[in-house]
Amino acid sequence: MASIPKRYFLISLAIAIIYAFFIGYGIEVFHEGKNYEDFCSQRVYEARNQTACTELNGTWQSYPPAMDVKAPQPVQIDPSIQTGSCSNSYSCQEKYENTSLTHDRIVFIVALIGSIVAFIIGTLLSREITSTGLYGGAVLTLLYGTMRYWQHADNLLKFVLLGVALAILIWIAIKKLQDNKGKK
């Protein structure tokens, strides 16, 4: 089996990395992901009372009234002072997570398609340096898409995805080995 000369290794690596970035940034150009701050205000954490918290669409969590423990008998400090904290409401978090799930699913599907295309082109090319770079790019792109969606997938889907990826890699390895044997 022919191997890539050492002087060509870097160009194959560059092709792999640039291909993965190309697919990743291409996804963001055409389907931009949203940030947490687009749904949930960071300002809610600055709210010092329930009224301010509610005005920022936050959820107020009250704490028990503060006590002055240095007094001879513990005394409650001014009850008009509200003690507690403000956090983002469940609804903003839910909206963000739903949007994130949709975006991550699109990233996964596009990355999977981009990986398959790179694998196919890499298999069809006769230039070892280019096909190796495309294989590397396909693996990196597949990894990127899978990592983005992995948290949302159930165990059965994870098992199927890993099985399909393994089968494709084995098929490509066998195909390339056969092609290289035929060239000798």
DSSP symbol at 81 = S
Single pTM value for the model: 0.69
Q: Is residue 1 part of a domain?
A: no
pLDDT of residue 115: 92
Residues 28 and 119 in one domain: yes
**Residue 48 sits in which domain range?**
41-88
pLDDT tens string 126-150: 788 898 899 999 999 999 998 999 8
Query: Is residue 166 over pLDDT 90?
Result: no
pLDDT tens string 4-42: 677 788 999 999 999 999 999 999 999 998 888 888 777
Environment class of 90 (CB within 10 Å of its CB; exposed 0-12, middle 13-18, buried 19+): exposed
DSSP symbol at 63 = -
Query: Is residue 3 over pLDDT 80?
Result: no
* Mean pLDDT value across the chain: 82
Rounded to the nearest 10 degrees, how much is the dihedral formed by the CA atoms of 89, 93, 95, 99? 170
pLDDT tens string 42-57: 777 777 788 888 888 7
Alpha-carbon separation of residue 47 from 57, 78, 130 (angstroms): 11, 19, 57
Residues 74 and 118 in one domain: no
Residues 111 and 179 in one domain: yes
Residues 68 and 99 in one domain: no
CA nearest neighbour of 16 among 108, 122, 165: 122
The identity of residue 117, as a single letter, is V
Residues 175 and 127 in one domain: yes
Residue 70 backbone dihedrals phi, psi, to 5 degrees: -80, -15
Residues 79 and 163 in one domain: no
Residues 136 and 155 in one domain: yes
Indicate the pLDDT class of residue 65, thresholds 50, 70 and 90: low
